[in-house]
Structure 1
Amino acid sequence: MSLKEKLQEDLKSSMKNKDTVRKSVVTLIRASIKQFEVDNRVELEEEGIIDIIAKQLKQRRDALVEFQKASREDLVKETEAEIQVLKEYLPQQLSEEELNEIVKDTISEVGATSMKDMGKIMSAIKPKTKGRADGKLINELIKKNLQ
């Protein structure tokens, strides 16, 4: 079953089960996919759908930080629930140890020696970790390994 089909089935089941969080998240994902396809006149493959879901996840994580700063517990709980739903559609996330190994290997591959090489490292790591790791965590690990 493709990711699009899974999203369609999950939308139906969330409507039947009155799971409002899942329904709203799946609806937003499907709308984003449709918008991208219409704007670019393409049919998205699995990888493109994963990119869209990863962007949605990043937006939720950024919003979560702001909600926590503002002490909005109602929005924090809602956003955390949305994050859990989004994670279900992404590939298995890499552990910090696995990610650290990838970062170390990539640093040696590109011959990076300082923070000036951050762009080269990030562009080399992105394809290896696409949809399976948070960009902020990758960035932190690169900084830690270059010091």
Structure 2
Amino acid sequence: MTLKARINEDVKAAMRARNAKTLGTLRLLLAAIKQREVDERVVLDDAAVVAVIGKMLKQRRDSISQYAAAGRNDLADAEQFESELLSAYLPAALPTEALVAAICEAIASTGAGSPADMGKVMAELRPRLNGRADMGEVSRLVKARLAGT
């Protein structure tokens, strides 16, 4: 079953269970997927759906930090719920050891030797780690590795 089909089945299950919060979040996800399909005139595969979910998760994390800073815990909790629900559709996260190994391999294959080569390394890592690691964390690790720390 494709990821998109699984999401559709979960929408149906949420409708049957009358779970409004889950249903609303899943409908937002389906709308984002459909919007991208219409914009690009393609049917999204699982990797592209994971990219859409990753983008939505990043938006949720930003919103959570802003709501928490403003003292709006009710809104932060709602965003946290959506974030946890969306995270369930992502592939399993890579352990730190595997992440570091992938970074070292990418640095070696691109021949990067300084922080100026970070773009090449990230371009190599992005397709392999999409949805399986926080790209902000990957960027921080690559930067530290290239700086020699």
* Alignment TM class, shorter chain as reference: over 0.9
Deviations 1:76-133, CA, capped at 9 Å, x for gaps: 2111111111111111111223212211221122121211011011001111101111
Does structure 1 residue 96 correspond to structure 2 residue 102? no
Taking the aligned partners of 1:103 and 1:64, their CA distance within structure 2 comes to 29
> Could you list the per-position Cα deviations for residues 7-64 of structure 1 after superposition, in whole angstroms to 9, with x for gaps in the alignment?
1111111122232232111101111111111222211111111111111111111212
* In structure 2, C-alpha distance between the alignment counterparts of 1:69 and 1:95, rounded to whole Å: 30
Structure 2 matches for 1:1-147, cutoff 5 A? Answer: 1-147=1-147
Unmatched 5+ stretches in structure 2: none
Kept in 1, the 8 Å contact 2:118–2:146? The answer is no
Regions of 4+ moved over 3 Å: none
Structure 1: gaps spanning 5 or more residues:
none
Q: State the 1:71 CA deviation.
A: 2.2
Report the TM-score when normalising by structure 1: 0.92
CA distance in 2, matches of 1:46, 1:57: 16
Q: What is the rounded CA distance, in whole Å, between the counterparts of 1:104 and 1:70 in structure 2?
A: 40
Structure 2 CA distance for partners of 1:138 and 1:69, relative to 1, 3 Å: same
SS at match of 1:7: helix
Rounded Cα–Cα distance in structure 1 between residues aligned with 2:100 and 2:66: 27
- Counterpart of 1:28 in structure 2: which amino acid? L
